[in-house]
């Protein structure tokens, strides 16, 4: 038997190699490091807060069965007043920012052209400075005898009252701090409205108001909702604006949480307040996101 015949027989009798097993879900394996990071950085602290909320008031001992004493304290006390004030200020902030940001966002998306990049830079640069420092700058600007009122009294002889340490100052701080969070999603939403659509509406005889109400506003609504939702959530849990500009004129829910964790040293009560705030915010986010097509906002098709 020749060497070639032996080689042929060996190749025919050798078992065929097994095909490689393909991963059923390679995306899950690729996302595993990110999932582990999210679990450690986000889920674990939230679970710790949830666990503390079921501990006895003023202690750090977990009992079985868990106690709901802290939640009873929250619902039987006057914390609903702080929550209602926070909710009202957040709604006012969102409403004002919607009115303020629409013309700016429309100009950045449709009119300003390359100057929009300069405006974006001017809005983003202050974000590199601490929020507290920027708010203290407003204190120096608004305080009695400060930059604004001192100048009015010196140059015009006007002795005006300061809005500092009152509700208008808190609203001003909220609008100032969270303007970028409303503006940029709104710019994205308006940029999704093509010029051809609006021109077609004008050609069909629609007025400027009709084009805004029936074409531009509905098509830009995803970006508007995202910006409004983000601003509302951040305003609802804000703390620095009420403490620095408000001077405790309004006790917001974040103030109550901070007081429970720090001065009161009552971590279970602070955790219960935090859990209720998270539940309210999370329910709102999930509800509104069910109405918003995130794939459309991100420019992804359903078939991708």
User: Left, alpha or beta for 176 (phi > 0: left; psi -120 to 50: alpha)?
Assistant: alpha
DSSP per residue, 90-104: HHHHHHHHHHHHHHH
DSSP per residue, 36-102: HHHIIIIIHHHHHHHHHTTSPTT-----SSPP-HHHHHHHHTTHHHHHHHHHHHHHHHHHHHHHHHH
Residue 4 lies in a domain: no
Residue 206 lies in a domain: yes
Per-residue model confidence (pLDDT) at position 59: 72
- The three-state secondary structure class of 126 is helix
Which segments of the chain have a pLDDT < 50? 9, 301-304
Alpha-carbon separation of residue 248 from 114, 244, 245 (angstroms): 43, 8, 9
Residue 90 lies in a domain: yes
Q: Indicate the pTM of the whole model.
A: 0.80
* Number of folded domains that form the chain: 1
Residue 166 lies in a domain: no
pLDDT in tens, 271-283: 999 999 999 888 8
Expressed as residue numbers, the domain containing 76 is: 47-55+62-124+178-292
Residue 21 lies in a domain: no
What are the CB-based long-range contacts (under 8 Å, 24+) for 8-12? none
Domain CATH code at residue 75:
1.10.3720.10
Number of helices (H) and strands (E) in the chain: give both, helices first.
16, 0
- 230's CB contacts (< 8 A; 6+ apart) are 181, 182, 185
Residue 67 lies in a domain: yes
Using a 10 angstrom Cβ sphere, with 0-12 exposed, 13-18 middle and 19 or more buried, the burial of residue 25 is exposed
Longest dimension (CA), the chain: 119
Per-residue model confidence (pLDDT) at position 304: 45
What is the DSSP code (8-state) at residue 127?
G
Per-residue model confidence (pLDDT) at position 206: 84
Per-residue model confidence (pLDDT) at position 222: 83
Residue 40 lies in a domain: no
Rounded CA gap, 139 and 148, in Å? 10
Rounded CA gap, 214 and 200, in Å? 13
Residue 170 lies in a domain: no
Rounded CA gap, 252 and 117, in Å? 36
């Amino acid at each position: 038997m020749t060497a070639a015949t032996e080689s042929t027989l060996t190749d025919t009798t050798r078992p065929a190699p097994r095909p490689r097993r393909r991963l059923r879900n390679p995306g899950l394996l690729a996302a595993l490091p990110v999932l582990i990071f999210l679990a450690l950085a986000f889920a674990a602290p939230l679970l710790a807060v949830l666990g503390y909320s079921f501990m006895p008031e003023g202690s750090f001992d977990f009992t079985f069965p868990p106690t709901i004493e802290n939640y009873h304290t929250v619902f039987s006390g006057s914390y609903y007043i702080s929550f209602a004030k926070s909710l009202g200020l957040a709604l006012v902030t969102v409403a004002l920012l919607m009115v303020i940001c629409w013309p700016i966002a429309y100009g950045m998306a449709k009119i300003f052209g390359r100057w929009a990049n300069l405006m974006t830079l001017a809005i983003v640069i202050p974000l590199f400075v601490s929020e507290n420092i920027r708010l203290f700058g407003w204190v120096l600007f608004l305080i009695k005898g400060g930059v604004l009122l001192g100048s009015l009294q010196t140059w015009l002889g006007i002795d005006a009252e300061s809005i500092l340490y009152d509700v208008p100052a808190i609203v001003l701080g909220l609008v100032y701090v969270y303007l970028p969070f409303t503006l940029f999603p709104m710019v994205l939403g308006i940029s999704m409205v093509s010029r051809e659509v609006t021109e077609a509406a004008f050609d069909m005889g629609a007025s400027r108001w009709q084009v805004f109400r029936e074409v531009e506003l509905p098509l830009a609504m995803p970006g508007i909702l995202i910006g409004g939702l983000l601003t509302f959530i951040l305003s609802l849990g804000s703390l620095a604006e009420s403490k620095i500009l408000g001077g405790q004129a309004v006790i917001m829910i974040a103030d109550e949480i901070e007081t429970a964790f720090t001065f009161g040293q009552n971590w279970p009560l602070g955790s219960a307040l935090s859990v209720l705030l998270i539940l309210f915010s999370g329910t709102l986010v999930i509800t509104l996101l069910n109405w918003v097509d995130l794939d459309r906002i991100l420019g992804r098709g359903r078939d991708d």
